[in-house]
Amino acid sequence: MTEDADSAVAALQERVRKAAHDGEALAITGGGTKSFLGRVSRGTPCSVHAIQGVVHHEPTELVVTVRAGTRLAELESRLAQSGQMLPFEPPALGEGATIGGTIACGLSGPSRPYRGAARDFVLGVRCINGKGEILRFGGEVMKNVAGYDVSRLMAGAMGTLGILTEISLKVLPRPACSQTRAFEMPGEPASELMTSFLGRSLPISAAAYLDGVLRVRLSGSEAAVSPAAGALGGELEAEGDAFWSDLKEHCLDFFSHDSPLWRISLKPQNQLLRLPGKTLIDWGGAQYWVKSDAGFEALSERVMPYGGYITGFGGRDQGARSDVPQDAVMKLNRRLKAAFDPAGILNPGRLLPED
Amino acid sequence: MTELLPPDFLSALQKVLPERVVLRSADERRPYECDGLSGYKALPGVVVLPDCLEQVCLVMRLCQQYSVPVVARGAGTGLSGGATPHPEGVLLSMARFNRILSVDPVACTARVQPGVRNLAISEAVAERGLYYAPDPSSQIACTIGGNVAENAGGVHCLKYGLTVHNVLAAEVVLMGGEVIEIGSEAPDQPGYDLMAAFIGSEGMLGVVTEITVRLLPVPPTAKALMAAFGDVEQAASAVAAIIAAGIIPAGLEMMDTPAIIAAEDFVQAGYPRDAAAILLCELDGTDAEVQTEIESVSSLLFDCGARSVDIARDESERQRFWSGRKNAFPAVGRISPDYYCIDGTIPRRALGEVLLGISELAARAGLRVANVFHAGDGNLHPLILYDSGKPGEFERTEALGAEILQLCVRVGGTITGEHGVGLEKIDQMCVQFGKAELEQFHALKAVFDPEGLLNPGKAVPTLSRCAEFNAMHVHHGELPHPELPRF
């Protein structure tokens, strides 16, 4: 396996070198489960599929190092055997999802406001930049300030700065106990209640509001969860875990609605943001999923006053209708891309519109 | 006077800035000649103490125009020479940017200026039951701006993260004077994660002028316990056992015999002087949660061979347990004329090997070492005791420090966990990174500062410096020219 992976990395490096020389765009793919995300890109498909395997997992150090083409499900089941998990609950959005694609897309699941985002758990990477150089940043330790934090910069960069080949992540113990409390209530007080959790010492790991029901997940030791459930009140939801998993994987009925899906992220508000369309509030009020035919401009107008961002989540054409960095920051973004990929061959246009 | 700067530049600076913010005489500049790494000194060309954003922009514009280097400085508590001045440059002290601008109790964030002290943030929001989590040991003095530059850690970062996990957004002045906002209070802003690039960038990319930090609720209960071991390996295995049991302590610290004795002599924390190692473990959360974890941890510690386990009976005893650890550096300062603090991180499984390696290297150098260790996250702080009055001893100390860091890299660790590279560890960067990575770092720097005027000569070595260094030193355990016979 190791030899296969090493030769696959060497072959990929050669492929990138040649493409850089020829100015040939490469469309980097893992499991292809998030190919609808981001802007319309172009290029010859270039897969990390052969770069497979968990390199190293040391449960007592809370660190796992894994090759980019490893399936997310395989990694998660390996961690589960040691009673551990990826704390940011990454959405797979399909069976073939790889850990490389997961980090490149930088998506985080329901636990994000309480445990952290994908980028927060990246400790180190090996990658191939647009010049075909194999680079290693960060490492397998929690604290490391040698050099710029390039590993974290790779999270959410959608492969446009480098092709990830190996990633080291901080992992955490799976909570011994988890339960979901449900509250039937209107949107306004639900928004207020969800936001108030940020300032309270409760073992909350998710909070979402859909169809008049606020659901709150408590996770931790039995000694932490039981008293917190009593303090919170609400009804015990029998199928709580299934709800969070379906939310994370976009399998709730809400997501099957015909209208395009938009993702809106915003600073936590203690008031309800009313949007045209059907709405699911996640991340304790910091993320709204919206099924709406209203279009990008109409939604943008509603979200702008709250300093929020819109991402098209419904399909290739819609991806191009996402917020992009403004002016001076966009200029830095473009120069950063050029610093890692001078020939502009790695997923061109996927994250930033091409010039 | 400030003869090392272009005269045109100085007169332009004085024309646009009020007199009170420009310090020109040698006496006024002297207090800025070093940071916490006092072995490195340089008198800055000129010191500017701006009191508003506009003045920072003017300085950055003029420095760009006249190609004058800029070194930004917070409280100057850094330990790697990151704020050592440039003799031909501006030392930009952010000390007057010392206001907490706003607190948002709903989103649990605060917007602060970079010169605000780390602890002052927690003090200001304590009445709301909130605090700012990263707590470097210099937190009463160090500033949040410096914390951003260095990605400061502290004893609680295994559970609550580093600066990079607790800062959401920042206003930054770029070289040339342009002002941008990076990061965001809304999650996942479009484009690249520039905040990740800026945090820990050691003042090489821009000057931070406002910072939005995340605040956390103060846990209702915190309890500490102390375990004594007759053997360092046992203490290390106890740390692994606690984490394997699914418990993430708020703090988990280890000290070895020389550090224990020095701390005990200084503050009488109640540490057993004859232990080979002690572990301090803090657990926080709700009362019931903490009670259960205290019981689990105690029995794990005994299972791993702890000679004794003491649980702090009350808050004052908890404070006393920590006082020894928090005063470990000054305590070591009392038993030796000077000490030099090293900051490597290692995979914890290599602890025994590294401690043994350190004691062998120290014996060979004829120097004593005391070790304090953020055991939960593998961040080791060997303190080398030396006497700067004895000729050649500082040089031997620096050489020993470099060897210890190279040992950390060899076992899969890093040359700096939380103090930064600065000037101090610039040569060891050549051990940790190869040519391609260093070139990538330089390319990233050039995105923000193409002329290399911000904090020149720090953090990332030039390739020619590394070529020279590697020609003289062992690299990755191999001697240069391994084909040559050596006797």
- The domain B7-93 having CATH identifier 3.90.1150.10: the answer here is no
Chain-centre distance for alpha carbon B353:
24
Using a CB-CB cut-off of 8 Å, the residues of chain B touching A303 are none
Is residue A73 exposed (0-12), middle (13-18) or buried (19+ Cβ within 10 Å)? Answer: middle
Shortest CA distance from A224: residue in chain B: B289
Check CB contact under 8 Å for A148 and B413.
no
Inter-chain contacts counted by CB atoms under 8 A, chains A and B: 259
**CA distance to A92, A193, B72, per residue, from A75 (Å):** 12, 35, 43
- The domain B100-217 having CATH identifier 3.30.465.10: the answer here is yes
Check CB contact under 8 Å for A149 and B196.
yes
What is the value of pTM for the model shown? 0.96
Check CB contact under 8 Å for B189 and A325.
yes
Using a CB-CB cut-off of 8 Å, the residues of chain B touching A328 are 178, 180
Confidence (pLDDT) at B470: 80
Confidence (pLDDT) at B405: 95
Rounded to an integer, what distance in angstroms lies between the CA atom of residue B42 and that of residue B481?
A: 37
For chain A of 355 residues, list the mean pLDDT of each consecutive stretch of 10: 87 98 97 92 94 95 97 98 98 97 98 97 98 97 95 98 98 96 97 94 96 98 94 95 98 94 92 94 96 92 91 77 90 98 97 88
Check CB contact under 8 Å for A309 and B425.
no
Rounded to an integer, what distance in angstroms lies between the CA atom of residue B290 and that of residue B415?
A: 35
Using a CB-CB cut-off of 8 Å, the residues of chain A touching B197 are 148-150, 153, 336
Which letter does DSSP use for residue B480 in this model?
Answer: S
Interface test with A, best of B135, B164, B286, B377 (most A CBs within 10 A): B286
Confidence (pLDDT) at B480: 46
Check CB contact under 8 Å for B188 and A328.
no
B312–chain A nearest CA distance, Å: 21
Confidence (pLDDT) at A56: 94
Using a CB-CB cut-off of 8 Å, the residues of chain A touching B199 are 149
Shortest CA distance from A228: residue in chain B: B286
Using a CB-CB cut-off of 8 Å, the residues of chain B touching A286 are 186-187
Using a CB-CB cut-off of 8 Å, the residues of chain B touching A127 are none
* CA terminus-to-terminus distance, chain A: 41
User: Which stretches of A155-251 are DSSP H helices?
Assistant: 187-196, 222-232, 240-248
Confidence (pLDDT) at B477: 44
Confidence (pLDDT) at A68: 98
Phi, psi of B470 (to 5 degrees): -70, -25
Share of chain B above pLDDT 90, in %: 90
Confidence (pLDDT) at A354: 85
- pLDDT at B474 > cutoff 80: no
Two domains, one topology: B7-93 and B100-217: no
- pLDDT at B79 > cutoff 60: yes
Check CB contact under 8 Å for B180 and A328.
yes
Please give the CATH topology (third level) of the domain spanning B336-410: Alpha-Beta Plaits (3.30.70)
ipTM of the complex in this document: 0.97
Q: Please give the CATH number for the structural domain made up of B221-329.
A: 3.30.70.2190
Rounded to an integer, what distance in angstroms lies between the CA atom of residue B385 and that of residue B370?
A: 8
Check CB contact under 8 Å for B459 and A221.
no
Shortest CA distance from A342: residue in chain B: B443
Amino acid at B305: G
Share of chain B above pLDDT 70, in %: 96
Lowest-confidence pick of A327-336, B87-96, B326-335, B458-467? B326-335
Check CB contact under 8 Å for B247 and A173.
yes
Mean pLDDT value across chain B: 94
Using a CB-CB cut-off of 8 Å, the residues of chain A touching B433 are 136, 146-147
pLDDT (mean) for B410-421: 95
Interface test with A, best of B109, B163, B440, B448 (most A CBs within 10 A): B440
B459–chain A nearest CA distance, Å: 7
- pLDDT at B484 > cutoff 50: no
Rounded to an integer, what distance in angstroms lies between the CA atom of residue A154 and that of residue A101?
A: 11
| A210 CB-near residues (< 8 Å, 6+ apart) | A252, A254, A280, A281
Chain length of chain A = 355
The angle subtended at Cα B133 by Cα B131 and Cα B138, nearest 5°, is: 105
Using a CB-CB cut-off of 8 Å, the residues of chain A touching B181 are 329
A42–chain B nearest CA distance, Å: 18
> Both tokens of residue B200?
């820990």
Residue B134's closest CA among B237, B34, B211?
Answer: B211
Confidence (pLDDT) at A271: 87
Interface test with A, best of B160, B164, B192 (most A CBs within 10 A): B192
Rounded to an integer, what distance in angstroms lies between the CA atom of residue A182 and that of residue A168?
A: 36
Using a CB-CB cut-off of 8 Å, the residues of chain B touching A106 are 188, 193
- pLDDT at B1 > cutoff 70: no
Confidence (pLDDT) at A1: 58
Check CB contact under 8 Å for B243 and A62.
yes
Phi, psi of A79 (to 5 degrees): -65, -40
- pLDDT at B228 > cutoff 50: yes
Shortest CA distance from A267: residue in chain B: B186
Q: pLDDT, tens digit, for every residue of B417-438?
A: 999 999 999 999 999 999 999 9
Check CB contact under 8 Å for A223 and B288.
yes
How many Cα atoms within 13 Å fall on the side-chain side of residue B59? 30
Q: Confidence class of residue B345 from pLDDT cuts 50, 70 and 90?
A: very high
Please name the member of B128, B184, B220 whose beta carbon is closest to the beta carbon of A201.
B220
Domain range annotation of chain B: 7-93, 100-217, 221-329, 336-410, 429-472
Using a CB-CB cut-off of 8 Å, the residues of chain A touching B162 are 143
Confidence (pLDDT) at B39: 86
Residue B107 in contact with residue B206, Cβ under 8 Å?
A: no
Helix (H) or strand (E) holding B282: strand B277-285
* CA terminus-to-terminus distance, chain B: 54
Check CB contact under 8 Å for A145 and B158.
no
> Both tokens of residue B42?
């340089």
- pLDDT at B216 > cutoff 50: yes
Domains of chain A (ranges, CATH numbers)? 2-173 (3.30.465.10), 177-319 (no CATH)
Lowest-confidence pick of B162-166, B252-256, B336-340, B349-353? B349-353
- pLDDT at B365 > cutoff 90: yes
Shortest CA distance from A148: residue in chain B: B201
Shortest CA distance from A312: residue in chain B: B190
Rounded to an integer, what distance in angstroms lies between the CA atom of residue A192 and that of residue A75?
A: 37
